[in-house]
Structure 1
Amino acid sequence: MQASPICIPTVTNDTDWDFCFHLSQQNKIPAHSQTDELSPTCESGESEEEMAVQKKERTIDYMSPPKEKLAQSQKKVVQLIKEKMNTQANKELIRCVILSRIIFGEEHWKCAQALTNLAYGYLALRGLPAQAKKHAESAKNTLLTWKGNTASDKEKKEILGALVMLYYTLGVAWLLQNQYPFLSDGEAYFNLQKADRNMKELKELSKEGVCGLQVSEKDLTIALGRASLSIHRLNLALAYFEKAIGNVIAAKGSDTSDLVSLYEEIAQIEQLRRNHEQAIQYLKQAYSICVSSFSEVSPQTAEASALLAKAYAMSGEPQHRDAVETYFIKSISAYQATLGSEDYETLTTIEEFCRWLIKNGKKQEAYRLLKASLKYQVISYGDCSKKMAETFYNMGKMCFAKGELRKAIQLLRKCLMIQILVYGSEHSKSRETKSLLTLLQR
C-alpha cells in the first residue's frame, strides 16, 4: 500500500510557462493587429453577426486595463477549475502572473502571491511537482520580506494565506519527487510544519474563520501525516491521520467516501506498528463504505477488498485464512467485472493471491489461476516480458513439486528463453532457471 496515490511525473520542461510568457509580449502589439491575427476562421454554422460580436468582445478585452484583465483571469481560473479544465486553468494562472508583474512589479507581494497560486496549480491541477517547486521558491523571499512590513491586517491575512499555500506546495512537491529519500522527506516535513504554523497564525488573526484558502486544514493534516510516515515517525503520523479522520467525520459524517483513502493509509501505519487487528478494523470500515457508496462490484470496492485480504494475510493468524481467500476472490471478481481480465489491477491481484496460495500449500489452485490468466498476461504485458517469465517460472516449480517433470521442463524452458531476451544469459535469474533445468534434465 502506498502512502500517496499520486504518481511521480517525469516532465521537467515548463513549456506552458514559456508559451504563455511569449503571449504576454502581445500586449505591445496594437489591439487591431491582435484582433486580426488571432481571429479564428469563420465556421460554416456561424453567422457574420456572431463573428462581429466575438470580434468586438476580443477588441474590448485587448483594450481593457491590466487590472481589469487580471480580475477577469482570476474569475476564469475559478470557473475552469469547477469545470475540471485543469490545463486551461493552469494557463490562466500563468496569465495572472504576467498581469501581476505588469501591474505591481516583480518584487511586490501580490506578484509573489500570483506565483504561489501558479505553483499550487502545477501541483494540484497538473501533478507536476518540479514546476511547482520552482515557482514556489521564486515567490518565497518576496512573501517573507513583505510579511514583516505589512500595512494592514487584511494584507497580512492575504500574505499568510499565500505562505500556507507556498509551504504546503513545497512540502508536497518534496514528498512526491523523493529523488533523495532522506533529504526529500526531511524537507517535506520541514516545509509542511511551516505551513501549519502559518495556518495557526492566520486562524488567530481571522477570528471569524479562514475563508478563501485553497489549502484546507484537512489537506495540510493529511500531508503532515504522510510526511511523518516517510521519516518513520509512526506515532506522529498516526496522530495526524486520526485528526484528519475526526475532521472529515465531523464535517461529512461517518459514511462519506472521503474516509476510504484515510482508513487505508492509517491501516498502513498500524501494520508498520504491527497492530494488525487494528489495521483490519480500519480496512473493514473502508470496505463497508465502498460497498455502500460504489456498490459491491466496483473498482473501488475491489481495491478495498484486496487490501483487506492482504491485511488478514499479514496478520499470520490461522483463523484468518478463510477471510484471506474470501476477500481475494471478491476483489478478483470485481476487477474482472469492471476493469476486465486483462487489466493490470486484476492480474496483479491474481499474482498476489497465487503467492499466498503457494505459501499456504495450495499449489494446485495457484497453478489453475495462473494458467487461466496466461492469455490475459500476453495481452497486457506481451509475449516476452518479466511478468511472463515469472509466471512460467512459478508454474514450472509447481509442476516440479507435483512430480510432473516433462511439463516443468517445458515451462522452465519458456521462462529461460524470455529471461535471456529480457535480462541476458549471465543475469542471476537466467542462471538460476538454467541450473534448475539442468537438475530436472538429469
Structure 2
Amino acid sequence: MQANPIRIPTVSNDTDWDFCFNLSQQSRTPEYQQTGELYPTCESEESEEDTTVQKEERATGLCFPKEKLAHSQKKVAQLIKEKMNTQANRELIRCVILSRIIFGEEHWKCAQALANLAYGYLTLRGLPAQAKKHAESAKNTLLTWKGKTTSNEEKEEILKALVMLYYTLGVAWLLQNHGREAFLSLQKADRNMKELKELTKGDVCGLQISEEDLTIALGRASLGIHRLNLALAYFEKAIGNVIAAKGDGTSELIRLYKEIAQIEQLRKNHKQAIQYLKQAYSICVSSFTEISPQTAEVGALLAKAYAMSGDPQHRDAVEVYFIKSINAYQATLGTKNRETLAIIEEFCNWLAQIGKKQEAYRLLKASLKSQVISYGDCSEKVAETLYNMGTICFAKGEVRKANHLLRKCLMIQILIYGNDHSKSRETKNLLTLIQR
C-alpha cells in the first residue's frame, strides 16, 4: 500500500466500520437466506443508476464466503492501484467481516484481516485513531494464538501480521506525538521482523512493511524521544540500504537526506547537515530540474542550514540558495503562492538580521499585495509583514513611516487577537517608544 499524506482525525468515530459491521450481523444467516446487503444476489432489482461496483458485487452474490473473501482481497489490491483509497478501505472492512464469518473472531486469520484494516486506516485514510483501535484488536488475538502449535506457514503469516500491526501502532502513536509509545511498538515490530527472517531464512516476500519503512519509523520515533544518536544511526542505516539497492542518485534519498540533516542540526553539527542537504539538492536538480517545487524546497532548507551555521563566510551561499528557491517557487507555483511568500519572508528576516534592511524592506513591500490576495486584508501574515516593515523603518530612523505601518499592524492584531494579546501589547509598546 502506498501511503497518502497523513492527517490527524478530528473525531474518533468509525462510521464505515459500524456500517459494515451491522451488515456482518445479517451475513450470519445461511447463504440461501442472504438477500444481498453484503453482496446483492442476481434476484435483486436493477436500476439504471447501478454502478460498475454494484454490478460486480451482484455477479458474486451467490458465491460461498471463502470465494467472496478471495474476491474482496483481489479487489483491494486493484482499488489501491487505482488510488481509490476510501473504496479500498471499505473493501478491507468487508474482508474482516468475511474472515469473521468463515474463521470466527478468535482465529489468527481474522486477526490478520484486522491488521490489514488497521494498516489501511493509517496509510489509505490517514486516521491513526481508527488504525490503533483495529491494531489492538488484532494484537489481542494474535498474541494468544501464537502460543498454539501451528505449521511454519501459519507462523510466517502470524509474524507478518504482528510486524504490520506493531508498525501501524508505532506510526499511529508517532503521528499523535507519543514518542515513547511509538518507539516501544516499533521495537516489537523490529523483533518480529528478525524472527520472521530467521524462520524464512531471510525471505520476507509478501510483507507490506519493508525493512526500510521500519528503520525510518524507528529513526523518527528515536527523534521523538530525543535520542539523537540513535535516530542518526537508524537514518544512516536506511540511507545505506537505499544506496545499496537503488544507487546514490535515486530520488528516494531526498527525504532521507532532509531528515538526517535535521538530526545533525539538532546535534549542532551544521557542517554535516549542509553536506546532506547539498546531496539532496543535487539529486533534486537531476531528478526534477533546477526549476521545480522539489528543488525549491530543498534549496530553501539549504539556505537556512547555511544561515544556522552562523559562519559569516556562508553569507553568500545563504543569499544564493534563498534567491534560487524563491525564483523556482515563483516560476512553478506563482508569486501569490503561500510557499513562495513564506520563503520570501524568511529571506527578508535573514537580510534584516545581517543589516541589509533596505533590501529586506523592498522585498517585503513587493510581496505585501500578494499576501493580501492570498491571506486577506486582516490576516496574521499581513500583520506580521507590516510589523517587520515598521521595525525596519524605525531602525533606519524613518519614524513617520514606521508609525504609519505599525498602526495598521496594530489595528489588524486587535481584530484578530484582541487588545490584551502579547503581540498587540508588543506593537503598542513599540508605538509608544516611537512617539516618545
Which one-letter code corresponds to 1:13 in the other structure? N
TM-score, normalised relative to structure 1: 0.92
The unaligned stretches of length 5 or more in structure 2 are none
Q: CA–CA distance in 1 between the matches of 2:141 and 2:419? A: 58
Describe the SS at the equivalent of 2:364: helix
2:257 is matched with which residue? 263
Structure 2: distance between partners of 1:370 and 1:193: 48
The equivalent of 1:198 in structure 2 is 192
State the alpha-carbon separation in 1 of the partners of residues 368 and 89 from structure 2: 43
What residue number does 2:427 align with?
Answer: 433
Q: Work out whether 1:357 is the aligned partner of 2:351.
A: yes
Question: In structure 1, the residue corresponding to 2:60 is in which secondary structure?
Answer: helix
Point out where structure 1 has 5 or more consecutive residues left out of the alignment.
179-183
Pick closer, same or farther for the CA change 1:155–1:13 going to 2, 3 Å.
same
Q: Indicate if the aligned counterparts of 1:31 and 1:59 stay in contact, CA closer than 8 A.
A: no
User: 1:185/1:42 Cα in 2 relative to 1: closer, same or farther (>3 Å)?
Assistant: closer
- Contact 1:309/1:327, CA 8 A, preserved across alignment: yes
- Cα offset, 1:67, TM superposition: 0.3
CA distance in 1, matches of 2:239, 2:418: 49
1:360 maps to amino acid: I
The whole-number CA distance in structure 1 between the counterparts of 2:80 and 2:123 is 11
Name the structure 1 match of 2:306. Answer: 312
Matched, 1:121 2:120: yes
> Across the two proteins, how many residue pairs are aligned to each other?
425
Q: CA deviation at 1:26?
A: 5.7
Name the residue aligned to 1:294.
288
In the TM superposition, residue 398 of structure 1 has moved relative to its aligned partner by: 0.8
Could you list the per-position Cα deviations for residues 308-366 of structure 1 after superposition, in whole angstroms to 9, with x for gaps in the alignment? 00110011111100000000111111111111222221111111111111110011111
Deviation at 1:58, TM superposition (A): 4.5
Q: Which moved more, 1:80-89 or 1:408-417?
A: 80-89
Structure 2 partner of 1:86: 85
Amino acid at match of 1:41: E
- Deviation at residue 295 of structure 1 after TM alignment: 0.8
TM-score, length basis structure 2: 0.93
Deviation, 1:438, is 2.4
Shift of residue 20, structure 1, vs aligned partner: 2.5
CA distance in 2, matches of 1:58, 1:424: 58
8 Å Cα contact 1:133/1:170 also seen in 2: yes
Give the C-alpha shift of residue 133 in structure 1.
0.4
RMSD, aligned CA: 2.0
- Superposed displacement of residue 379, structure 1: 1.9
Paired residues of 2:6 and 2:123 also in contact (CA < 8 A): no
Are 1:66 and 2:65 counterparts? Answer: yes
How far 1:382 moved relative to its partner? 1.2
The aligned residue for residue 331 of structure 2 is: 337
- Tell me which amino acid in the other structure corresponds to 1:186: R
Question: Are 1:11 and 1:128, in contact at CA under 8 Å, matched by a contact in 2?
Answer: no
**SS state at 1:384 partner:** coil
Q: Look up the match of 2:242.
A: 248
- The alpha-carbon distance between structure 1 residues 38 and 116, as it changes in their structure 2 partners (threshold 3 A), is farther
Deviation larger for 253-262 or 147-156: 147-156
Structure 1 contact 171–188 (Cα < 8 Å) conserved: yes
In structure 2, distance between residues paired with 1:139 and 1:38: 38
Which residue of structure 2 aligns with residue 234 of structure 1?
Answer: 228
Secondary structure of 2:144's partner?
helix
Q: What are the residue-to-residue correspondences of 1:133-172 with 2, within 5 Å?
A: 133-172=132-171
8 A Cα contact 1:370 1:395, kept in partner? yes
Q: Secondary structure at the match of 1:62?
A: coil
Q: Which amino acid aligns with 1:101?
A: R
Contact 2:383 2:410 in 1 (8 A): yes
Moved over 6 A (4+): none
